[in-house]
C-alpha cells in the first residue's frame, strides 16, 4: 500500500512541476493605462490622405451620459449618432470626428489598454464603451494631431478641456 501512495505522490509532484514550468513560460500581455489620454495613429481615413487620422483616446466615464450625447447637447447638433462637428478654437475652424465604439475597435487594438475605473452593471448610466476617441482636421483637411501640425497644441488643449468638462458634468 505504501509504495502505491509514494508513486502517486511522486507522479503528482512531477505533474505539478511540469504545470508550473509551462505556465511560467507564457509571457504576460502588456497593457497600457491611460492616465489622461493617448494619441494613436491610423484612425479614420479622410479623402486626400494616405494614412488615417491620429486619434485622441481616453477612458470613458460610464457613470455619465454617453459622450456623443454630451457633445450633441453642448453644440446643438440635434443628433448624437455619427457625430462630427465644426468648432472654432483660438480663431481656427476645426472639424472634430467622434469614433463610435465599433469604429474604435476597427481602427485600434483597444485590448492593449487597461481600464482603471471598472464599473458594475448597476452603476453604468451611459455608454458601455470603455474608451472614447476623437480625431480633428482643419479646414484644409490637415490632421490637427499630427506631429508636424501647427494646430496640435491648441487641438490637444481643446480636447483635454472637452474631456474634463464631460467628466465634471
Does 1 map to a domain? no
Does 123 map to a domain? yes
φ, ψ (nearest 5 deg) of residue 167: -70, -25
In this prediction, residue 6 carries a pLDDT of 56
Does 18 map to a domain? no
In this prediction, residue 4 carries a pLDDT of 58
Domain limits for position 139: 30-168
In this prediction, residue 27 carries a pLDDT of 47
Instruction: List, run by run, the mean pLDDT of 10-residue segments along the chain (169 residues).
Output: 56 59 52 78 86 91 85 82 86 94 87 66 65 94 94 96 92
In this prediction, residue 19 carries a pLDDT of 57
Does 69 map to a domain? yes
| Backbone torsion region of residue 151, taken as left when φ is above 0, otherwise alpha when ψ lies between -120 and 50, otherwise beta | alpha
Strand partners of residue 94: 87, 138
Q: Strands 113-114 and 32-33, how do they pair?
A: parallel
Does 152 map to a domain? yes
Does 21 map to a domain? no
Does 11 map to a domain? no
In this prediction, residue 22 carries a pLDDT of 55
> Could you tell me which of 75, 58, 42 has the C-alpha nearest to residue 143?
42
Q: How many domains does the chain have?
A: 1
Does 59 map to a domain? yes
Amino acid at each position: 500500500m505504501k509504495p502505491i501512495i509514494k508513486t502517486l505522490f511522486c507522479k503528482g509532484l512531477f505533474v505539478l512541476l511540469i504545470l508550473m514550468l509551462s505556465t511560467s513560460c507564457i509571457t504576460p500581455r502588456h497593457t497600457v493605462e491611460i492616465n489622461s489620454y493617448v494619441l494613436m495613429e491610423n484612425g479614420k481615413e479622410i479623402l486626400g490622405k494616405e494614412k488615417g487620422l491620429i486619434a485622441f483616446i481616453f477612458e470613458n466615464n460610464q457613470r455619465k451620459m454617453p459622450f456623443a450625447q454630451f457633445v450633441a447637447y453642448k453644440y446643438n447638433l440635434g443628433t448624437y449618432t455619427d457625430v462630427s462637428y465644426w468648432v472654432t478654437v483660438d480663431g481656427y475652424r476645426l472639424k472634430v470626428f467622434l469614433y463610435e465604439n465599433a469604429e474604435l475597435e476597427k481602427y485600434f487594438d483597444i485590448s492593449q489598454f487597461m481600464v482603471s475605473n471598472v464599473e458594475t452593471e448597476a452603476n453604468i448610466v451611459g455608454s458601455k464603451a470603455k474608451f472614447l476617441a476623437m480625431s480633428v482636421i482643419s479646414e484644409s483637411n490637415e490632421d490637427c494631431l499630427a506631429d508636424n501640425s501647427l494646430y496640435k497644441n491648441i487641438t490637444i488643449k481643446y480636447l483635454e478641456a472637452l474631456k474634463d468638462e464631460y467628466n465634471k458634468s
